[in-house]
Structure 1
Amino acid sequence: MSTLVSNRRSRPHADTDPATNWAEHGLCVRKARDFHASEVRALVICEACPVRLRCLSEALREEGLAAPSYRSEIRGGLTAFERAVLSGWKRPTAPTGGRASGDMDKAEELLRTGTLTDLEVADATGVSRQTVGKLRRALGLSSPVDLRGATPQERIAQRTRPGQDGHLLWTGDESTAIGGRRVKGVRLAFEVGYGRLPEGSVKRTCDVYPCVAWQHLTDRPMREALAAATPPAPAVPAPVEYLYELWDANWDDGPLGNYELRRHPITKKTNLRISFTYMGKASYVDRQRIEAEGEIYHRRLRRLLYLAPPELPARPEPASLQTLRQAMAAAHPDRGGTDAAFMTAHAAYQQARRRAGA
């Protein structure tokens, strides 16, 4: 049997010697999610990693002559099997013939010792792990405690490191071998934390990858119960912002100065522009300028727009009908006035009469 591998790992995203910082330069630190997505992606990332050779050297030193099943999947750009062969490990030769390949007698002998897992027996005898499992059940033997990870609690302690704000970060491969089976870190942490097997997929309630704190994990029934107990939040309309304009209500009907305040909804803000709608049509203004000056003249719309509501100018005092009548009479051509002056005075007089209801 080969020497069991310790849990210290050379991967940059796993526990490393605090006195060195080479691991911080590994590409798998910045691309952890892609690294764990598939073996192909991991190999591509390792190929361009500046510390690949250092990572491989540390992996070979730590793993020794261990069989592939004792090693993590991709380290230093090589698979577990490739590193095992590079270290000098040789697969046990399996005799030909018989009902199954491998040394079945040796497998039975090792199983009866009660100290080796199915993977360990398979590596030592050349018998497939599935056949070893069938043989164990036929002999009526139970699975021993996994010597490589001891209890599930100890395995979690070996494969995790504390994070900030109560997070517990899983290191290395997403799954681990324990009790003769491979299980994902999130499922193992769920089983230990809640004391039961999860139903359905296990998901994180936090957005920290790869956190396996059991308080942050849920299975399908827990998510369904939470959804049923949590009423939907009421929809809160987003606050509407506006650009403002002073509008003269009398611009086409008599003297100017009867101002109203108009609002134009803002639809979007960027670093350079403020987009808004003007009478149902989209437009925009220079954001930096209007925020610096508080107002801006829109050339296409020919309007002066404000960032904040401006004060309404005071309305001019209406002239009395008598004063307007006198001004109209004085502007008459028979009294020395002009036709244009008389028409202007007459229009002002008629407008005042309409407003007064005369």
Structure 2
Amino acid sequence: MTTTDDPPLIFWGRCRSGRRWFWVAREIDGDDAHGWASTPDEASRQANAAAVQLAAGRYANVRVLHGVAAEKLKKLNAAKRQEKTPKPKRPQPKVTPPAEPIGYLYAVELGRYDLDDVTWIPGKVVSFPITKKTAKRVYYLRPRGPFEWQPGYVDRQELERHGSVRGAHWLQLFATPPEIPKPVTPPSVKELKAAMAAAHPDRGGTDEAFIAARERYLKALRRAA
């Protein structure tokens, strides 16, 4: 949400969509409106009118940024493709971890913000039970849910040679418990505001970089509040 000190920032833009033109009007961290038109001029008129409606009588900072249209259209097309061709879910076997595993593999679960985007959850070391070892592979279990485990394996020679190896989903697995990396101090609100200003297209930035920097700045404002 925008603060009382800053007027709402609204972007509108258009881009080609097949034989038509797609338009969108979007308030940063707020609502948006979109549609299609037959000509670029008509798309611009509709987008500008939608931006005025989003302002709802408030003093607003309305700017043209055609990148928001391409970004929105890409998301709509991706959602449409997903609805048409849903991926079939392959049944996963339920595996019970052994009562006495022959060893463990370890990984680092990095610190992160909770779903409320305010509470910080510190990082920790997690362990996966080893079920079997062969000359070439180390078999282990990783959790899929509260009561389910999924089998996997890693290259034994690489694990013993380097002390770590890439597991499933690019998870780095270690032969011994690793040290948790020290948390990186996030940038301050003032630094994020300066980065947002530097990323503006008028100062040599790109549309996508400015939108991302603006959202990081607003998210930091919410955390500070």
Scaled by the length of structure 1, the TM-score of the pair is 0.28
Query: Which has the larger share of helix?
Result: 1
- Higher Cα Rg, which structure: 1
Query: Which has the larger share of strand?
Result: 2
